[in-house]
Structure 1
């Protein structure tokens, strides 16, 4: 376990990871980030990558990179595994003044990520729909997103995490006022919001699953087999 005593108040945003279900506001955020840092590098996945390509146009090749190209691992079918990779979490959790972390970054070719923009599969909205099945609810449980949010929020020492598109304008305003950097106070407030979001998300999942019976779950699978097969 590491205890840190030396950090930077203001941290410039040089590299971002963007993986969102709700793409509202990206057309404001991404051009704004690039205006403030024309050399910004962005990692992204799946539908977010496609949306960012459209926003960036001819500049996409310069600024945008698939997470799978960065990690060297393809996405799992169905997008089940996209960002759960050592190089991603090394890039999120490394501490600025830790020489062993710096050595790990150099050894793996990982690069520190300064900004994480993530929002989650709409589990709460899914279970609010009439007639939703346990399988439909299960499929909308986000795994990678909460992990990214928690890792980035834990390392508010140098990483900013944005879970709510409503925060994009304020983020850009501070970056503009701060010469492309975000303060510790802002990173901490964003971390508080990210942890609150993941806690609410998990409460919704636990509450929904806790209200189901085994027979209700089994009824979701018309081809339920007796077992013995391998995953």
Structure 2
């Protein structure tokens, strides 16, 4: 679709700069907010109504937070093609609501490396759910707006404001392209770190 109505957003960010302002703008535009962990706490403390991912999945965060968004109730809502009636019927059959906006940024693996952590400690800063969400939303930019960093917040806010609660195809494709580039750089950084044989 050319103009995507934004009614439901998933927000899960490591870099929380400007996230309250962005979440507030989304809420004022009538967007339902879904979030995880520390992001949810920060938004809730700011007085915003937020649903937890646990509520959406019906399953708690487990393995010390390693598994929280990796669930069909999340990813089917991200990957469904809204122009495909069969996809939308499948969501309906399984009582899954689609997402329209995914705002995610990744664990700071570079910081862990800079702090000379052991390999065992550093790998805990390798994000799994974040890149998965970002790639899913970027792949499905025809039906989802992916927001890969705080520098996009003002433009997305303005887009929603100027287009009666919708985001146009052009900016969605630009965000998707940047998302894939970011995830590629992130994976390359991890590969460069792990490639040397290290005794730790």
Q: 1:92 offset after TM fit, Å?
A: 0.6
Query: 2:102 is matched with which residue: 100, 106, 116?
Result: 116
Taking the aligned partners of 1:137 and 1:150, their CA distance within structure 2 comes to 23
Aligned to 2:133: 148
Structure ID, larger Rg: 1
Cα distance in 2 for partners of 1:42, 1:105 equals 19
Equivalent position of 2:40 in the other structure: 49
Any idea what the Cα deviations from partners look like across 1:77-134, whole Å, max 9, x if unmatched? 31110000011111011111222211211121111100000000000121122x3211
Within the alignment, does 1:88 sit opposite 2:74 as a pair?
A: yes
Gaps of 5+ in 1: 1-7, 220-231
Q: Which residue of 2 aligns with 1:225?
A: none
Q: Distance in 1 between matches of 2:130 and 2:41?
A: 18
Question: Which string of whole-angstrom CA distances, capped at 9 and with x for unpartnered residues, describes residues 16-38 of structure 1?
Answer: 00011111111210111122x23
Which consecutive unaligned segments of at least 5 residues does structure 2 have?
A: none
- Dislocated runs of 4+, deviation >3 Å: none
Q: Is 1:72 aligned with 2:63?
A: no
The TM-score with structure 1 as length reference comes to 0.84
TM-score (norm 2): 0.96
1:51-98 per-residue CA deviation (whole Å, 9 max, x = no partner) reads 11012x1x52xxx11111111111103111000001111101111122
Do structure 1's residue 28 and structure 2's residue 21 form an aligned pair?
Answer: yes
Other-structure match for 2:144: 159
Q: How many residues align structurally?
A: 200
- Indicate which of 3, 6, 28 corresponds to 1:10: 3
The CA deviation at 1:184 is 0.5
